[in-house]
A and B are shown apart, each in its own frame.
Chain A
Amino acid sequence: MRKCQEKKKKQQIMINRRDFIKKSAAASAMAAAITMIPGILFASDQENSTLTGDINWTKGPCRFCGVGCGILVGTQNGKAVAVKGDPNSAVNKGLLCVKGYHQIMCTSSADRLTKPLVKKNGKYVETSMEEALDLVASKMKETIDKHGKDSVAMYTSGQSTIPEGYVASKFMKGAIGTNNLDCNARLCMASAVAGFLTTFGADEPMGCYEDIEHANVFVLWGNNMAEMHPVLFSRMLDNRLNRKNVRIIDLATRTTRTSKAADKSILFKPQGDLAIANSICYELINNGWVDNSFVEKHVAFNKGKTNIGYGLEDNFKFNDEATPINYEEYKTFLADYRPDKIEEISGVSAKDIKYLASIYGDPNLKVVSYWCMGMNQHTRGTWVNNLVYNIHLLTGKISQPGNGPFSLTGQPSACGTAREVGTFTHKLPKGVVTNKKHRELAAKIWKVPYDRIPDKPTYHATEMFRAVDRGDIKFIWTQVTNPLVSLPKTSRFRPAMEKESCFVVVSDVFPTPTSDVADVILPAAWHVEKSGMYGNSERRTQYWDQMVEAPGEALPDAWITIEIARRMGFGDLFPYSKENHHEEIYNEYRQFHVGKKHNMAPLDILKKESGTIWPYIEETGKSTLWRFNSKYDPACDQAKDFDFYGNPDGKAVIWQRPYEPAPEMPDSEYPFWLNTGRVIEHWHTGSMTRRIPVLHQAVPNAYVELHPTDAKRLGISNKEKLKIISRRGTTILPASINERGMPTIGQVFVPFFDESMLINDVTLDSFCPISKEPDYKKCAVRIEKV
């Protein structure tokens, strides 16, 4: 018996071996041939030579951050089994980060949502998809009938695909006729958008990642790129290694891996960035380092309102007003920012300010400024964005290879979906709701009556959840986001969402603290289980095909929205097919951006290439890499060298914006600044990355970083449990001293991914009055030992 088995086994091996030998003989012959005759591939042999198993590789963008790396996902027997960097992607050229390599592992988590769950008598009951969709649609309809259109709201995401964002906008603004649509990109990119619109009149960066290969100096404004944009950071390090005269300067309120890798680290006090940027401009003018002809031809000067508040009260309203000023007035304003005068508020020495100015002012150096959440999550976020543009406009270092300000994004499609499709309360796929022409265009493409789209924005993210608390919003539907971990001051919004007055629908892939308070939970398909497009920080649109089946009854979010819309009687506006809706929607959406300034690549190009950058020039089949420069951008007036065509006069605006203090500063009762952020291993609220074993085991919980001096003074040792207390709430975390990062003295830092140590119960819901983006980086706390 045993012998028999052995024999059988042997036979099997023999067969395998023979089969294998046949295959590999072909393979090596083929490989040899390839080396002799480059360019010729032996297709059938190549396809059959499956020595590494039958792995099928499909291209797509990474699921996580805004860098938008190209990935190749390996599938085997209908399952995703491996991920590698796409060597054809101009973004990452084959490299990924630890999140990127392991992303697909979350899909096999045991608590994956596969069936709709409906809360009945306080308990979740599994239902069919049909029943759940019927319930959501009837509840939404009933609420509108009883309380009006503005009693229902939808809250989506910068991680929604382009089709998902588009149907959400069409459904809320075009079909129902309410502007109660906002998204979590309000929490990360709104200040960047407001900065672009006020300075250039057109959203999104003018440059692209290719700048990294041309620049001499990288100035990072409050941006820990080594952890948050690691692939771009490695690209910078690579350039420093292989090219002469490349430097990295880290300007931050906390010492991080980025500071250690940088050539120079400059630490400043929270909110000090406003003074630093103005002071650099003072130095540029004072030393005669201004590019006068550029300023004369391409720049206008404006000032806005000052003392603009912090949005701490409900129903806060603010509208900025631009007043033109002249160059002389601007110079007079800057007199207060002489480097030695701002040492106190910024915490930076005059010497370091002069050093920074000398870099921006040197005509022989190409300089790129990078920033992300440090400048955007800021109660003066729009201002500080404007101020960094001022530096680049004064020196004319903009819209050229290796020269320019570059606002990095956090989410994979914050640009592609939230900003370009416009899933904000004030936005439309092209333009804003307050503009009649923009409403007319949207109504025409959507085939809805023009007056159905309301002309006034309603709730931005923070105000939307305040309205839920007040009882003004009676139905809310969240998609691809986890607000009860990510909103500021969740200590107010968790009880708000639990109230009977509001019916909560949550579409997600995994259970989260947000789905815990839902009345209906809809299971959604994950990234590679659906087809779609994302748009990254450098205006690159990337397409991917569905690679594996979604489990159970999970559906793509776009299709869920369409199903609900149909059930509410808007079927004629959503005539898409289930198999191909993503393509049909994209083709419809493209009509919004027709024209030289924002043309999107057609689908067949997107399917072929690892992303294209808009404006896409169809005649030549090329991406426009640098906007506003007539050498590279055909949308410019070709008679000029630069044309900032977002503004009617073709000029960019230098804004006079002063320093104003943060709303809540450390005092004797709450003596520490609280700064929050991310770690490389975890993505946002951790709902995906914590379900990836490698990442969870690497960083299993959040912690609070202290400066060693503070720790010593308070007698706190590493890993000791500490209670962080603010005027809003508390949370308990282990201390981290001399580890990954080091805040400045008098500051603590906490990553926000951990739902069991909710730091957002502690944070403050103040926001930039112009962009309405909350400030997660500055509030006052005290520390107690537990």
Chain B
Amino acid sequence: MKQGYVIIGFWIALFIAAGFIIKASLAEDQSLNYNKIVEQASTNSLPIEEGVYKLSYSAKEYLELVNSGVGFSKNLTSYYNRRAFPGAPPTIPHLSEESLSIGGKECLQCHQNGGFVDVYKAYAPIAPHPEYINCKQCHVPLKSEGNFKANSWKKMEAPEANQQALIGSPPIIPHSLEMRSNCLSCHAGPSAPIEIRVTHPNRINCRQCHALNDNSQNTNKIWTR
């Protein structure tokens, strides 16, 4: 009998507690409506972590390609030739008709997952950031040669590939990771430039061993003791 009261009491207590929780959450919902004070604009800038595992579903396939000799047409020279400076968005090297469509209906047809494109007899490079669908915001096809006026622009040197601190130690990452956090899109698969193609794409946690070395975000003097 006593046990029965305890059980009923327990359920009543639980019921009241649930009531409070629901009420509290409703109140929170209301306060969220319109009026959440935003202290300062949120600073989730371009992700440099999110893309790390993005292409991991292809990793096994890439591993099989490593020694197969498939798609070895791209190298770092052609890679940097398409950029005004290392880190600049590459231009579109193939015929790209001016069309009204955007992102998913156009560029991403080939550049989301890559693969062999018959028209160009080449493997399409994979966009490391397919979530940005207004592709031609940054990437433009070049339709003419020559300049409006001569220009003495000099490209800065590209970072050296395979920079190892010790013999055999894992090379560092010599470039910034904004828009390029998806390592496998450029470092594995048949469209990757040969010099930077990784031998072990199946070890998908790249940054377990490869450390970032990029000083571009430290615009202020850094604190020292």
Residues of A within 8 A of B (CB): 20-21, 24-25, 27-28, 31-32, 35, 41-44, 46-47, 49-53, 55, 57-59, 72, 74, 76, 79, 81-85, 87-90, 93-98, 101-102, 105, 108-111, 208-210, 213, 226, 230-231, 233-234, 237-238, 241, 255-257, 259-261, 366, 400-403, 608, 622-623, 625, 631-632, 680-681, 690-700, 736, 738-742
Contact = CB atoms under 8 A, between A and B. Distances in A.
B40 interface: yes
Nearest to A82: B85
Given A84-B178, A261-B134, A740-B98, A50 B215 contact: yes
B152 A108 contact: yes
B216 A208 contact: no
B213 A680 contact: no
Interface in B141-177: 141-157, 159-160, 163-166, 169, 172, 174-176
B39 interface: yes
B151 A110 contact: yes
Given A52-B214, A98-B137, A98-B139, A693 B147 contact: yes
10 contacts: A25-B166, A31-B213, A46-B222, A51-B172, A97-B138, A98-B89, A105-B153, A109-B150, A110-B151, A694-B88
B101 interface: yes
A261 B133 contact: yes
Contacts of A739: 97-100
B37 A101 contact: no
Contacts of B137: 97-98, 226, 230-231, 233-234, 680
Contact of B151 (A27, A44, A108): A108
Q: Main secondary structure on chain A at its contact with chain B?
A: mixed
Which one of B131, B142, B169 has the highest number of Cβ atoms from chain A below 10 Å of its Cβ? B142
B224 to A, nearest CB: 4
Q: Main secondary structure on chain B at its contact with chain A?
A: loop
Contacts of A632: 37
A75 to B, nearest CB: 10
A25 B165 contact: yes
B211 A226 contact: no
A741 B99 CA distance: 8
Contacts of B139: 98
The 6 closest A-B pairs by CB, nearest first: A90-B41, A43-B222, A739-B98, A31-B211, A87-B45, A94-B46
Interface in B44-77: 44-46
Contact of A698 (B34, B37, B140, B165): B140
A216 to B, nearest CB: 12
A222 to B, nearest CB: 17
A28 B223 contact: no
B44 A93 contact: yes
A24 B172 contact: yes
A681 B89 CA distance: 13
Given A108-B153, A210-B42, 7 more contacts: A43-B221, A51-B159, A57-B217, A257-B136, A401-B38, A681-B140, A693-B147
A691 B151 contact: yes
A47 B222 contact: yes
Interface size bracket, B side? 35 or more
Contact of A31 (B100, B131, B172, B218): B172
B91 interface: yes
A338 B223 CA distance: 66
Contacts of B166: 21, 25
B215 A57 contact: yes
B34 A403 contact: yes
Given A47-B222, A108-B152, A84 B176 contact: yes
Contact of A55 (B38, B156, B220, B224): B156
A401 B34 CA distance: 6
Nearest to B132: A234
B140 A101 contact: no
Contacts of A623: 40
A623 B41 CA distance: 10
Contacts of B34: 366, 400-403
Contacts of A401: 34-36, 38
Contacts of A698: 91, 140-143
Nearest to A90: B41
B43 A44 contact: no
A90 to B, nearest CB: 3
Interface string B179-220: 100000000000000000000000000000001111111111
B203 to A, nearest CB: 18
B87 interface: yes
A622 B38 CA distance: 11
Given A102-B88, A631-B37, A741-B100, A24 B163 contact: yes
Contact of A90 (B40, B86, B144, B221): B40
B102 interface: yes
B98 A98 contact: no
Contacts of B220: 608
B179 to A, nearest CB: 8
B114 interface: no
Contact of A742 (B84, B100, B103, B150): B100
A88 B218 CA distance: 11
Contacts of B223: 41, 43
A82 B176 CA distance: 12
A680 to B, nearest CB: 7
A233 B40 contact: no
Nearest to B41: A90
B165 A85 contact: no
B174 A72 contact: no
Given A24-B164, A257-B102, A693-B147, A57 B138 contact: no
A53 B156 contact: yes
Given A27-B211, A700-B143, A101 B84 contact: yes
